[in-house]
Amino acid sequence: MGQAQVIDGKAFAAGLRARVAERVAKLKAEHGLQPGLAVVLVGDDPGSQIYVRSKGEQTLEAGMHSVTHRLPAETSEADLLDLVRALNADPAIHGILVQFPVPPHIRQSAVLEVLSPDKDVDGLTVANAGRLASGLPALSPCTPVGCMLLLRDALGELRGKRAVVVGRSNLVGKPIAQLLLQADCTVTIAHSRTVDLPAVCREADILVAAVGVPELVRGDWIRPGAAVIDVGMNRLPSRDPVKAAQGKTRVVGDVAFAECAEIAGWITPVPGGVGPMTVACLLQNTLTAALRLNGIAE
Amino acid sequence: MGQAQVIDGKAFAAGLRARVAERVAKLKAEHGLQPGLAVVLVGDDPGSQIYVRSKGEQTLEAGMHSVTHRLPAETSEADLLDLVRALNADPAIHGILVQFPVPPHIRQSAVLEVLSPDKDVDGLTVANAGRLASGLPALSPCTPVGCMLLLRDALGELRGKRAVVVGRSNLVGKPIAQLLLQADCTVTIAHSRTVDLPAVCREADILVAAVGVPELVRGDWIRPGAAVIDVGMNRLPSRDPVKAAQGKTRVVGDVAFAECAEIAGWITPVPGGVGPMTVACLLQNTLTAALRLNGIAE
């Protein structure tokens, strides 16, 4: 009967952005320092264009310096790497985000090898993965950080809870497992090779779905009262056949929301759950990077 | 009734060392390249002395170049870092191992920051932790690699098995969890904050104990037929009170061997299980490092 408390990621993200903006204003007043974020987009993918514009707008709204570099799709890898090196060296820039995917003639790995780990606000470099895995101060990927903030807000103390992460990507699954482990959860990582995935999911006090399979997680996979975090963002044709024929789409998560909301204690919707947290955490990471690069206490 | 098959790590390690020696001989014959391992010991801890001597002997027996630097306990951090830098630059050296712990006036983190990841045959640098976490070619810590070799030898295919790792150290617990995940296991990381640890352990097809608590894991924690890998090396007073009074000790693992051997399908003894694998895997890592540093296919 829909007992779960629906976690309002949109409202939480708005609050987080406001708190970041306050700290940015304080940093400017007390230290004369304005955090700066550079976003680099190669090519003209419409989805990426919208996403990059939104990042730029939210950066400005938080009182930060915002630079967006839009490069043509035929930009060479060498030119992109030169731009990243220039941004590494630019003292007005504290966070650098290269919007992935880049065109196929550019190696993502080459970009991440050049990108300074101290400005890697997406938390994608090997150095930041190593710092996270070693329990050192890292810039952690934004979506996992956002999931943790929502979980702490909903549940309070996470220590000793059983967490199951479905999915083992470098961008989401693995880093969120590390963060849950740091929070003293007992963490299980499940994936496409897991035997009896429903039974493994039923062990979870905290279930994080990050696999990219629409509505994979069903109601009978949920332990009653569990917190369910849906990282999925899957685009399906509109339910309305006329709109679908016009190419209209709808977004669904990795969790069958209605079924699972009957059993779970907390659940994030899609859209409006984890999604809005990602950019808010990007701003927070940029602030953190600015503080660390300038040796100011966080 | 002791039904478990006891995994003979000593014999497996001897076989592995012989295979490494064969490949070293072939490398010398075909490429004129002799892998070299430098071991650095600061201070005169008797245990470390024995360990370092054994590493040097086994390196020579494998046909490798072996250098041992024994530095006085009062060596400054700056001098140690200079030595590490010199070894980084020495083309005859492909693996560098600084024996930890170092004296308290030297920061372990400073040593690992200077050590070249490409020669970090202990797999302790942040760069190698990041490569491992990101699924890139890494030099992985020796003990976890040794555990994986024993598991594959005993069980064959590991895909889909439920693995529980008790302990989350950077040296053992976390890297072995990564390696089990790469092998397509469903991996749970448990630790001192885990609620009902026995029940979590009973879920395991593969149970790895790496906590440093003597005989923590009891017989009724084991799923019948499971593979139990005991990484513990705990020194207790001798059972013989006269010998104990003389300071004689015995080594026990994290697993109550006799009890667990009645239930498990496979089990490693202590000593003679995981322990001997560590140096054999160090030699294998040194060979791997030599191949990679010289661009020779592995």
| pLDDT tens digits, one per residue of B123-180 | 999 999 999 999 999 999 999 999 999 999 999 999 999 999 999 999 999 999 999 9
Q: Annotated catalytic sites of B, by residue?
A: 55, 99, 122
Cβ contact (<8 Å) for B131 and A131?
no
CB contact B284 to A (< 8 Å): no
Give me A176's structure tokens. 């969120």
Bridge partners of residue B6, in order along the sequence: B267
| pLDDT tens digits, one per residue of A120-151 | 999 999 999 999 999 999 999 999 999 999 99
| pLDDT tens digits, one per residue of B149-160 | 999 999 999 999
Which is it for strands A249-252 and A234-237: parallel, antiparallel or unpaired?
antiparallel
Range of weakest confidence among A274-288, B19-33, B236-250: B236-250
CB contact A136 to B (< 8 Å): yes
Give me A54's structure tokens. 């939104």
Instruction: Tell me how far CA of residue A232 lies from CA of A5, A212, A225, B39, B85, in angstroms.
Output: 19, 5, 21, 48, 46
Is the per-residue pLDDT at B1 higher than 80? no
pLDDT at residue number A133: 96
User: If you search the block for the tokens 């950077």, which residue do you land on?
Assistant: B170
**In whole angstroms, how large is the CA radius of gyration of chain A?**
20
ipTM surpassing 0.90: yes
Is the per-residue pLDDT at A2 higher than 70? no
B101 prior amide bond cis, ω within 30 = yes
Is the per-residue pLDDT at A1 higher than 60? no
Residue A19 annotated as binding site:
no
Q: Whole-angstrom distance between the N-terminal and C-terminal Cα of chain B? A: 44
Closest Cα in chain A, distance from residue B13 (Å): 28
Q: Which CATH number fits domain A142-276: 3.40.50.720, 1.20.1240.10, 3.40.50.10190, 3.50.50.60?
A: 3.40.50.720
Which is it for strands A266-267 and A36-42: parallel, antiparallel or unpaired?
unpaired
Give me B138's structure tokens. 């890494």
Give the C-alpha separation, B5 to B154, whole Å. 9
pLDDT at residue number B51: 87
Find out whether A26 and A287 touch, Cβ atoms under 8 Å. no
A209: phi then psi, degrees, rounded to nearest 5: -105, 120
> How large is the average pLDDT for residues B258-278?
97
Bridge partners of residue B236, in order along the sequence: B250
CB contact B137 to A (< 8 Å): no
| Global pTM exceeds 0.90 | yes
Per-residue DSSP letter, B45: -
CB contact A186 to B (< 8 Å): yes
Find out whether B153 and B139 touch, Cβ atoms under 8 Å. no
Give me B51's structure tokens. 């360990």
> How large is the average pLDDT for residues B34-42?
97
| pLDDT tens digits, one per residue of B235-262 | 999 999 999 999 999 999 999 999 999 9
Q: Whole-angstrom distance between the N-terminal and C-terminal Cα of chain A? A: 44
pLDDT at residue number B47: 83
Half-sphere exposure of A153 (CA within 13 A, CB side): 21
Residue A165's pLDDT band, with cuts at 50, 70 and 90, is very high
pLDDT at residue number B45: 87
B170 vs A129, A135, A189: nearest CB: A135
Cβ contact (<8 Å) for B195 and A186?
yes
Which is it for strands A249-252 and A227-230: parallel, antiparallel or unpaired?
unpaired
Give the C-alpha separation, B180 to B278, whole Å. 17
Half-sphere exposure of B39 (CA within 13 A, CB side): 25
Closest Cα in chain B, distance from residue A129 (Å): 5
pLDDT at residue number B2: 59
CATH superfamily of A32-116: Leucine Dehydrogenase, chain A, domain 1 (3.40.50.10860)
Residue A173 annotated as binding site:
no
Return the residue of B nearest to A166 by Cα: B186
Q: List CB contacts (< 8 A) between A170 and chain B.
A: 133-135
Q: How high is the mean pLDDT of chain A? A: 96
Find out whether B253 and B232 touch, Cβ atoms under 8 Å. yes
Is the per-residue pLDDT at B191 higher than 60? yes
> How large is the average pLDDT for residues A272-276?
96
| Burial letters A119-132, b for 16+ CB under 10 A, else e | bbbbbbbbbbbbbb
CB contact B213 to A (< 8 Å): no
Helix axes B173-182, B126-133, angle to 10 degrees: 30
Residue extents of the structural domains in chain B:
32-116, 142-276
Annotated binding residues of B for NADP(+): 167-169
Q: List CB contacts (< 8 A) between B195 and chain A.
A: 160-162, 186
C-alpha closest to that of A255 among A274, A238, A240, A279? A274
Q: List CB contacts (< 8 A) between A188 and chain B.
A: 186-189
Is the per-residue pLDDT at A46 higher than 90? no
A122: phi then psi, degrees, rounded to nearest 5: -90, -10
CB contact A190 to B (< 8 Å): yes
pLDDT at residue number A51: 87
Return the residue of B nearest to A204 by Cα: B188
Q: Annotated catalytic sites of A, by residue?
A: 55, 99, 122
Which is it for strands A95-98 and B234-237: parallel, antiparallel or unpaired?
unpaired
CB contact A137 to B (< 8 Å): no
